[in-house]
Chains A and B, each alone.
Chain A
Amino acid sequence: MTLSRLVLRSMRKNIKQYYLYFFALIFSVTLCFSYTTLQYNPTVVLALEESGTASAGFKAATYVLYFIVTFFVLYASHLFMKRRSKEIGIYQLIGMTKGLVFRLIALENIILFLLAVIVGMVVGYFSSRFFAMVLLEILEVDMIVQLKFSVEAFKQSAIIFSILLVIILLQMAWVIRSLSLLSLFTASKKADEQIRGFSIFQMVMGFIGLFLIIFGYYQSTQLFNVEKSSFFDNLYLHMLVILGATIIGTYLFFRYTVALIMNMIRAGKRGHLRITDVLAVTPIMHKMKSNSKSLTLITTLTGLAVGIMSLAYIAYYSSNSNARFVSPYDYILLNDQGIEFLDALYQEGIKFEKDTYQISSVKLNIKDLVSENLQDSPLYSLETDTVVVSLSDFRQIKPNYTLKKGEALLTSYANVLSEVLPLQKNKDIIVKSGKLEFPLHITEIRKDYVISNYVSNGSPILVVSDKLFKEIEEQNKEQQAITSQIGINLVEREDVEKAEMLYKKFSEHRKVFLDKEHSLIHKSFEEQRKNNIASLGLTIFVTAFLGLAFLLTTGSILYFKQIAEADDEKESYVILRKIGFSTTHIMKGIYAKQAFNFGVPLIIGLFHSYFAVKSGWWLFGTELVAPLIITICLYVVMYTVFAVLSIQYYKKVVRESL
Chain B
Amino acid sequence: MSVLVGRKIRKVYGKKSTAQEVLKGIDIEVQKGEFVGIMGPSGSGKTTLLNVLCSIDYPTEGIIEINGQNLRGMKEKALANFRREQLGFIFQDYNLLDTLTVKENILLPLSISKQPKAVVESRLKELVGILGISHILNKYPNEISGGQKQRTSAARALIANPTLVFADEPTGALDSKSANALLTNLETINQEKSATIMMVTHDPVAASFCSRVLFLKDGAIYTELYKGDKTRQQLFQQILNTQSILGGDGYDA
Q: In whole angstroms, what is the CA distance A282 to B111 when docked?
A: 14
Max chain B CB contacts within 10 Å: which of A271, A283, A584? A271
A501 at the B interface (CB under 8 A): no
A110 at the B interface (CB under 8 A): no
Q: Is the CB–CB distance between A278 and B111 below 8 Å?
A: yes
Interface digits, A269-284 against B, CB 8 Å rule (1 contact, 0 not)?
Answer: 0011111011000110
Q: Is the CB–CB distance between B120 and A580 below 8 Å?
A: no
Q: Which chain B residues border A578 with CB–CB below 8 Å?
A: 56, 83, 89, 91, 95
Q: In whole angstroms, what is the CA distance A359 to B82 when docked?
A: 88
Q: Size range of the interface on B?
A: 35 or more
Q: Is the CB–CB distance between B111 and A580 below 8 Å?
A: no
Q: In whole angstroms, what is the CA distance A277 to B105 when docked?
A: 12
B28 at the A interface (CB under 8 A): no
Q: Which of A263-316 contact B (CB under 8 A)?
A: 271-275, 277-278, 282-283, 285-286
Q: Which of A623-654 contact B (CB under 8 A)?
A: none
Q: Is the CB–CB distance between B80 and A585 below 8 Å?
A: yes
Chain A interface residue count, Cβ-Cβ cutoff 8 angstroms: 28
Q: Which chain A residues border B84 with CB–CB below 8 Å?
A: 579-581
Min CB distance, B50 to chain A, in Å? 11
From B56, B81, B96, contact of A658 by CB (8 A): B56
Q: Is the CB–CB distance between B117 and A272 below 8 Å?
A: yes
With A579-B89, A580-B87, A583-B76 known as contacts, the answer to whether A272 contacts B82 (CB < 8 A) is no
Q: Which of B128-151 contact A (CB under 8 A)?
A: 137, 140, 142-143
Q: Is the CB–CB distance between B97 and A278 below 8 Å?
A: yes
Min CB distance, B139 to chain A, in Å? 8
A582 at the B interface (CB under 8 A): yes
From B76, B81, B111, B140, contact of A196 by CB (8 A): B140
A151 at the B interface (CB under 8 A): no
Q: In whole angstroms, what is the CA distance A578 to B108 when docked?
A: 12
A572 at the B interface (CB under 8 A): yes
Question: What is the interface of chain A mostly: helix, strand, loop, or mixed?
Answer: helix
A436 at the B interface (CB under 8 A): no
Q: In whole angstroms, what is the CA distance A239 to B76 when docked?
A: 57
From B81, B97, B103, contact of A582 by CB (8 A): B81
Q: Which chain B residues border A282 with CB–CB below 8 Å?
A: 97, 99-100, 104
Q: Which chain A residues border B82 with CB–CB below 8 Å?
A: 580
Interface digits, A533-576 against B, CB 8 Å rule (1 contact, 0 not)?
Answer: 00000000000000000000000000000000000000010111
B107 at the A interface (CB under 8 A): yes
A191 at the B interface (CB under 8 A): yes
Number of residue pairs A-B, CB distance < 8 angstroms: 83
B19 at the A interface (CB under 8 A): no
Q: In whole angstroms, what is the CA distance A575 to B83 when docked?
A: 12
With A272-B117, A580-B82 known as contacts, the answer to whether A277 contacts B98 (CB < 8 A) is no
Q: In whole angstroms, what is the CA distance A194 to B87 when docked?
A: 31
B172 at the A interface (CB under 8 A): no
Q: In whole angstroms, what is the CA distance A642 to B19 when docked?
A: 42
Closest to A281 in B: B99
Closest to B54 in A: A578
Q: Which chain B residues border A581 with CB–CB below 8 Å?
A: 80, 84, 112
Q: Which chain B residues border A196 with CB–CB below 8 Å?
A: 140, 143
Min CB distance, B78 to chain A, in Å? 9
Q: Is the CB–CB distance between B56 and A283 below 8 Å?
A: no
From B97, B98, B109, contact of A191 by CB (8 A): B98
Q: Is the CB–CB distance between A580 and B137 below 8 Å?
A: no
Q: Is the CB–CB distance between B112 and A273 below 8 Å?
A: no
Q: Is the CB–CB distance between A283 and B120 below 8 Å?
A: no
Q: Is the CB–CB distance between B95 and A575 below 8 Å?
A: yes
Max chain B CB contacts within 10 Å: which of A191, A278, A283, A585? A278
With A194-B140, A578-B95 known as contacts, the answer to whether A272 contacts B112 (CB < 8 A) is no
Q: Is the CB–CB distance between B109 and A278 below 8 Å?
A: no
Q: Which chain B residues border A579 with CB–CB below 8 Å?
A: 83-84, 89, 95, 108-109, 156
B101 at the A interface (CB under 8 A): yes
Q: In whole angstroms, what is the CA distance A385 to B131 when docked?
A: 92
Q: Which of B54-107 contact A (CB under 8 A)?
A: 56, 76-77, 80-85, 87, 89, 91, 95-101, 103-104, 106-107
Q: Which chain B residues border A194 with CB–CB below 8 Å?
A: 140, 142-143
Q: Is the CB–CB distance between A272 and B107 below 8 Å?
A: yes
Q: Which of A43-67 contact B (CB under 8 A)?
A: none
Closest to A196 in B: B140
Q: Is the CB–CB distance between A273 and B56 below 8 Å?
A: no
Q: In whole angstroms, what is the CA distance A72 to B85 when docked?
A: 47
Q: Is the CB–CB distance between B56 and A278 below 8 Å?
A: no
Q: In whole angstroms, what is the CA distance A151 to B104 when docked?
A: 64
Q: Report 13 cross-chain contacts, Cβ distance below 8 Å, ordered by A residue.
A: A271-B104, A272-B117, A273-B108, A274-B112, A282-B104, A572-B99, A577-B80, A578-B95, A579-B89, A579-B95, A582-B77, A583-B77, A584-B77
B-side residues, CB < 8 A to A, are: 56, 76-77, 80-85, 87, 89, 91, 95-101, 103-104, 106-112, 117, 120, 137, 140, 142-143, 156
Beyond known contacts A578-B83, A579-B89, A579-B156: 17 more, CB 8 A cutoff: A194-B142, A194-B143, A271-B104, A271-B106, A272-B120, A274-B111, A278-B97, A278-B108, A278-B111, A282-B99, A283-B99, A575-B97, A577-B80, A578-B95, A579-B108, A582-B76, A584-B77
